[in-house]
Structure 1
Amino acid sequence: MISRALSGRRVLEFAAAASILLLTLAFFWPLIPIGEGRADPADMTLLGPGAELASSSLLNTSKLAYDSLWIDVEEEDAARAQLLSKEAVWLLERAVKSALDNAQGDLRERILRAARGYLAMSNASMSSADAALLLDPVRPAVDSALDSLLAGDVDEALEEWLSVKELVLSARRAVADALIALSRIDPNALLSDEHRRALNSSTLRLKELSAELDQLIYLFSLIERDPEAAKSAIKAALEARRGELDPVEASRLMENPSVSSLISDSEHLDPSQAGRYASRVSEFR
């Protein structure tokens, strides 16, 4: 959940950054002309609250996205975080317009650089929330598909996987969108160390989720490509585990080009990248 109270340390960091910005604005204020149709110079100070909303929303939604593939998440939490991200965008865009209309030189550039970073945070937050909303309802089917595959029931596994495949792929694209947005942020343009830590931890969390999804998608792409070969290979693996695999049958199986190709391609699975699914993915190498 998004905290409504900042820790003492965050207050000090944020206050220091905001104070510098406000002092700079106060110094230049008499020199800033206010013309008809121009944004209010005071809107430049909206950078601070917009930045705080963007940072806290990103922390929240990246965690929701990561958790959604493993435990239930509340749809209301993701929807609320999206609304806060949109509010951050509204505040930041007002600050940008005011800076473009009223500020000059270093002050203008500092506001614009910071605002660009926090706008990217907000966009990443909304994409992360999208991923959470997509993944939460598909989790049971993904788990069931993996369990069926491990039991050798390829048909059941494929049926479960295909019922949610497009949602998983959409979630993967949403995570990619979030990571692309975050990669464009200059950490030095952010207002506090707390915001830089939020950027780093959220990026790491989303990268881990991305890697997990990639492993699941690749695994089931192998099964989809040739279900019959998958049935033969998994059946042989289960028999070998029980000590029941006939060596002659094993040799004959490896002479089958489809099975041989499937087994070879399964070597590209990387359990170390599968995170919470590592133990199950390792069964298919």
Structure 2
Amino acid sequence: MPSRRALLVAPALLAAPAARAQQRPLRIITPFATGGSTDTLARLVGARITALTGQAVVVEARPGAGGDLAMQAGAAAEPDGHTLILGSDSSLVRNPMLRRGIPYDPERDFAPIARLVVSWYAVAVNAALPVRTLAEFVAWARANPGRVNYGSAGPGTLAHVIGEMMSQGLGLDMQHVPYRGASPALQDLVAGRLQFYAVSAGGLLNLLREGTVRVLAVTGASRQPALPGVPTIAEARFAEYDHSAFYSLSAPARVAPPFVDQTGALLGRIIAEPDTAERLQALALDPAFLGPSEFRAFLAAERVRWREIIARTGLRLEG
């Protein structure tokens, strides 16, 4: 009788092409509602996996609780090479430091495979607000306590963290409104139910042409080609709030090492494709591939960095 580990050495992507066509699909569990940039990222990568290997892929959205539901489902999945989990900086790095009782352990429950992309963020307001710079917004928010609602794709996400860092660091009375993904939050920003949103910019660019939202600053070391007239947060003199998100794929812990290595190599090939890179950049997602060993080292360094930020700033999250 072969051992369980031996049985796991030939999961979905390691099977021969003919066998793959007969297997159950590979699942990619995503943490936010369909229609957003993370959903599009998963579907784009899944389609390329199918095209290159013949393995069917399904994207399974598990929105809610800032990604906790998706991560919990991924942690509970069988480590048989048929499940991947789309993780982020919030779910894999900050959540255990900032939120109590999350139902998974990011270091224990997952086998990191690859960082795929880094997403720059846009600090945006509803266009009806009488502000045109980030400094003007801060002054207006101070003069109007309790009148600013800011959105996020859920508790602990980078939008929530940036909003709370600004609230606590600048003494602003802003209320956090969590959503099940970026798309519904953007809809409320347009409608004026939200006044402020530090949002991953992929879903935002079309709205700018409609004039319903205004971007005050962007994250990153340089201005974005899509918004050349918008300063970086550092240029706006708020460099301490300059943070970007990453998105990655992991497997449940205890999956066979060959699956991690070969899937990492496959994902590296996909992210390096010129057409894939162009489509990602149209979503404001910058290709930033790291394979399994480099990704593990990156996660370790990010955990140290955020522990230092939290210790220095006293950041806490509520609701």
Relative contact order, higher structure (CA 8 A, sep 6+): 2
Q: Report if TM-score (shorter chain) is over 0.5.
A: no
**Whose helix proportion is higher, 1 or 2?**
1
Instruction: Point out the structure with max Rg over C-alpha.
Output: 1
Q: TM-score, normalised by structure 1?
A: 0.28
Q: TM-score, normalised by structure 2?
A: 0.25
